[in-house]
């Protein structure tokens, strides 16, 4: 009887410590680092970017767009027929194969959509019908994924000609097919806090969130001069919006807004890590970071690789 009571007492003590201890719960932390690359045709290559072998590294090719690529006329929507718009001279299928041969833990994804196309024209999500867009998207994205030996897909539409429910249904059905047929092994979305953007992603999350592995939230779309307390508040708000999801923190090296490394980004990351909430870091983008020798990529990966 005494031994039974001792066991019960020990179990209760373990439960109490788990519930009320002030020590961090680190199980949710991740060593995931992600970086967008190739959108600005600045000649950046995979080999230019420093890779810490102690982190999980995702390159995200930017962008595949369902717009025409003819140089003789302005780009126009193609109803889900995606074409490659990233820097194919420096980021082609053989480069992806070589990268993966030399870095076994590195994975490569492609991002769909983006903000603008040639001559700064906005890229719109513009399907003719749900079924036709999904059918064309499945065919074209499967072809690109297999040609480039890709592992994942990222959704980064920022302008819309259709409502949130149509967007959710098109993207949700596409993700379901790609994962079900093992065309990709992971998927992410890249929303930001804007009344014309966020509702589309929240509709997608509500219906198809189980298919989305990471939320690349664009924290650099917040106002310039964001401080640490504001950033942590924004993080909590978006973690609530995408409840149960892995919301990654981010900053831009292109002079965009949000909490910059100079103003305390890495201090905020350490706080999140101490709380077991650091699901990963991503940067926009390698094209912009090249001029400074990728110093923040190195610092981000060092932080992720370290234990608390």
Write out the catalytic residue numbers. Answer: 158
Collapsed DSSP state (helix, strand, coil) of residue 58? strand
Q: Helices 228-241 and 265-274 sit at what angle, rounded to 10 degrees?
A: 50
- Judge contact between 68 and 121, C-beta under 8 A: no
Q: How many other CB atoms are there within 10 angstroms of residue 200's CB atom? A: 25
For residues 267 and 194, what is the distance between their CA atoms, to the nearest angstrom?
Answer: 26
Between CA 122 and CA 89, with CA 42 as vertex, the angle to 5 degrees is 95
Residues 6+ apart with CB under 8 A from 249: 217, 219, 235, 265, 268, 269, 272, 278, 280, 281, 282
Burial environment of residue 199 by CB neighbours within 10 A (0 to 12, 13 to 18, 19 or more): middle
For residues 303 and 31, what is the distance between their CA atoms, to the nearest angstrom?
Answer: 9
Collapsed DSSP state (helix, strand, coil) of residue 144? helix
For residues 25 and 47, what is the distance between their CA atoms, to the nearest angstrom?
Answer: 35
For residues 11 and 143, what is the distance between their CA atoms, to the nearest angstrom?
Answer: 54
For residues 110 and 150, what is the distance between their CA atoms, to the nearest angstrom?
Answer: 7
- Judge contact between 246 and 235, C-beta under 8 A: no
- Judge contact between 222 and 263, C-beta under 8 A: no
Q: Buried (b) or exposed (e) across 61-73, using 16+ Cβ within 10 A? A: bbbbbbbbeeeee
């Amino acid at each position: 009887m005494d031994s039974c009571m001792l066991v019960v007492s020990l179990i209760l003590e373990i439960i109490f410590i788990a519930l009320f201890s002030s020590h961090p719960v680190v199980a949710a932390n991740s060593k995931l680092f992600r970086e967008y690359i190739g959108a600005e045709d600045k000649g950046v290559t995979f080999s230019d970017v420093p890779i810490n072998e102690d982190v999980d590294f995702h390159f995200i090719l930017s962008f595949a767009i369902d717009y025409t690529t003819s140089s003789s006329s302005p780009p126009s929507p193609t109803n889900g027929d995606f074409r490659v718009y990233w820097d194919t001279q420096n980021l082609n299928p053989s480069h992806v194969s070589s990268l993966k041969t030399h870095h076994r833990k590195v994975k490569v994804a492609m991002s769909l959509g983006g903000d603008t196309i040639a001559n700064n024209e906005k890229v719109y999500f513009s399907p003719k019908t749900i079924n036709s867009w999904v059918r064309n998207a499945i065919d074209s994205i499967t072809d690109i994924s297999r040609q480039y030996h890709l592992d994942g897909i990222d959704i980064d539409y920022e302008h819309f000609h259709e409502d949130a429910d149509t967007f959710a249904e098109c993207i949700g059905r596409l993700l379901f097919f790609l994962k079900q047929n093992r065309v990709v092994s992971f998927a992410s979305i890249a929303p930001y806090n804007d009344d014309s953007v966020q509702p589309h992603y929240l509709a997608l999350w509500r219906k198809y969130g189980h298919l989305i592995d990471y939320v690349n939230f664009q924290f650099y779309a917040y106002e310039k001069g964001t401080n640490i307390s504001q950033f942590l508040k924004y993080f909590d708000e978006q973690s609530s919006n995408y409840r149960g999801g892995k919301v990654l923190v981010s900053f831009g090296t292109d002079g965009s807004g949000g909490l910059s490394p100079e103003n305390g980004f890495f201090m905020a990351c350490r706080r999140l890590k101490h709380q077991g909430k650091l699901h990963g870091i991503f940067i926009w983008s390698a094209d912009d970071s090249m001029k400074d020798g990728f110093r923040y990529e190195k610092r981000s990966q060092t932080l992720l690789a370290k234990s608390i």
